[in-house]
Amino acid sequence: MSDESKLGSLRYEPLLGRIDPLIRSESGIACNIQASSKRDGLFLDPPLFTRLTADAGLSQMAKRHLLSEVNSLGIAWLGDALAPVDRNAKETQPISLDKLKRIASLQLEQPIDVDSFQGAAAIELQMVGRPFQVLANSRRSRWTPALPVEITDFEQVAKRVELLRVLSEGKCPIGAAVAPGAVYEDLRFLIDSGFDFLTLLVDIQFGMAAGSSLRLASFESTMEQSAKAVHDSGNKTKLLVSTNLLDGVSMYRCLQLGASAVSIDAFLAKAKPQEVAPVKDTFGSVLSPYVPAASISPMAWVGPALTRLVEELRDCAVYSGETKA
C-alpha cells in the first residue's frame, strides 16, 4: 500500500471533535463567530519560509549560521528569538536583528510570554500536539491537530486570537499552524476565528538529513480543500504551505495553486552536500583529526543554493508573465 493510499484511509475528525468530551461546552456547537480578519495578512517577499529553526532541533550555532544565510535573502523563519552570542563561538557573519523576519512560535500548552513577541514579524499558534496526554512513542502523534488546552468551545478561539492581537499592540499578524485533519472544516473555522494567516503542515522536515521528513496528508487533496475553504470564506487569509518541494518550479506551481508562501525545508535537506569522509589508509585520513576545521561556515552552501532558488522562482514568474515571485 502506497503512502498516499495509507493517508487516504486514515479517519480524521474536525477540531471540535478533539475537545475532551468531559469538558466540551454545549454552547460551542452553535458557532457564531464574528471575528473574521479584515487585514491583508502576512506578506512575505520572497514567498518563502523555513520551519527548520523550530522543528529540526538545530544547535544555537547551526541556527545562527542558517539564519545569517537566510537573513540576507529576506526569507522568514519560525522560532524563538536568538540567544546572545557565545563569546567563544566564531560568527562568520553578524546578523542584523532589525531585518529578521521572525515568526514567533506559540505552543498549545505554553504560557503566553509577551517578551517572546518582541521584534517578531508575526505570531503563529502551533495547533498540533496531544494536550494533557503523555506522547506515544510515535513521531506522527506529535502532529495531531488540536486546540489550545484551555479552550472548550469555538468562540474562545476567536477571543484568544484577539488577545494575541492586543498583546502585540496590533502590530503583528496572527496565524496558526495546522496539521491536515478535516481540512475544509478546520480551515473554515480558523479563518472565521480571525487568523490572518494559516500554515498547512502537509510535510514535516524534522532534520537536515535527507529522508528525515514526515508526510501527514496528501498534498493535492489538501491544497484543493484549503483553497476552496479560503475561497468560500471570502476572506483574505493567507495560506503558507510546508511540504516537500524540491525545486523552484514545484514551488511556483504550489504558489499558483493558492499558497502565499512555501517552505524551503525539503529543498535545503536535498541541497545539503554529502559529507565525504576521507578514504581510510591515506595520509589525509591520518591527519584529519589534527587539522583545524575550515574557516568557512558549515552552512556556507545555504546562501548560494537559496540564491539559485529565488532566481528560479523569479524566472518562473517572468516566464508565465507574472511578477509575483
Partner 1 sequence: METPSASTLDFNLDLVSPTEILTAIRSHLSEIAHVESKDSAIPVLSINISGAKNQDFIGAGVRGVNEIVVHGPIGDFGLCSFGDGQCHVEGNVGDFFGHSISSGVLVVNGNAGNATGALGAGGLIAIYGNAGDRTATGMQGADVVVRGSVANHAGLGMQSGTLVVTGSAGLHLGHGMCGGTIYLRGDAGSISPDVEEQRLREPDRLKIGMMMLKSNITGAGKDFRVFRPIRAGE
Residue 101 · residue 121 · CB < 8 Å:
yes
- By C-beta, is 164 or 240 nearer to partner 1? 164
Min dist CB 220 to partner 1, Å, is 37
Stretch that binds partner 1, among 29-37, 104-112, 181-189, 197-205 (CB under 8 A): 104-112
- By C-beta, is 180 or 194 nearer to partner 1? 194
* Residue among 7, 74, 85, 162 that touches partner 1 (CB under 8 A): 162
Q: State the binding string over 129-158 for partner 1 (x if CB under 8 A, else -).
A: --xx-x--------------xx-x---x--
Long-range pairs for 222-226 at CB < 8 Å and ≥24 separation?
222/180, 222/183, 223/254, 223/257, 223/258, 223/259, 225/183, 225/184, 225/187, 226/183, 226/184, 226/187, 226/198, 226/200, 226/258
- By C-beta, is 72 or 156 nearer to partner 1? 156
Residue 177 · residue 147 · CB < 8 Å:
no
Q: Counting contacts by CB under 8 A, is residue 21 touching partner 1? A: no
* Residue among 60, 96, 110, 285 that touches partner 1 (CB under 8 A): 110
Stretch that binds partner 1, among 47-55, 67-75, 108-116, 243-251 (CB under 8 A): 108-116
Q: Counting contacts by CB under 8 A, is residue 169 touching partner 1? A: yes
Residue 66 · residue 205 · CB < 8 Å:
no
110 residue type, one letter: Q
Secondary structure of residue 238 in the 3-state scheme: strand
For the chain, the C-alpha Rg in angstroms (whole number) is 21
Residue 228 · residue 184 · CB < 8 Å:
yes
Residue 112 · residue 167 · CB < 8 Å:
yes
Strands 213-215 and 203-205: antiparallel
Q: Counting contacts by CB under 8 A, is residue 23 touching partner 1? A: yes
On the 0-12 / 13-18 / 19+ scale of CB atoms within 10 A, 188 is: buried
Q: Counting contacts by CB under 8 A, is residue 163 touching partner 1? A: yes
* Residue among 166, 277, 291, 296 that touches partner 1 (CB under 8 A): 166
- By C-beta, is 21 or 321 nearer to partner 1? 21
Phi-psi region of 258 (alpha: psi -120 to 50; beta: other; left: phi over 0): left
Min dist CB 316 to partner 1, Å, is 41
Site of grid cell 506578506: 43
Q: Counting contacts by CB under 8 A, is residue 3 touching partner 1? A: no
Min dist CB 158 to partner 1, Å, is 11
* Residue among 24, 130, 159, 253 that touches partner 1 (CB under 8 A): 159
Stretch that binds partner 1, among 15-23, 54-62, 174-182, 188-196 (CB under 8 A): 15-23
In DSSP terms, 201 is beta-bridged to: 242
Q: Counting contacts by CB under 8 A, is residue 170 touching partner 1? A: yes
Binding site for partner 1 (CB under 8 A): 20, 22-23, 109-114, 131-132, 134, 149-150, 152, 156, 159-160, 162-163, 166-167, 169-170
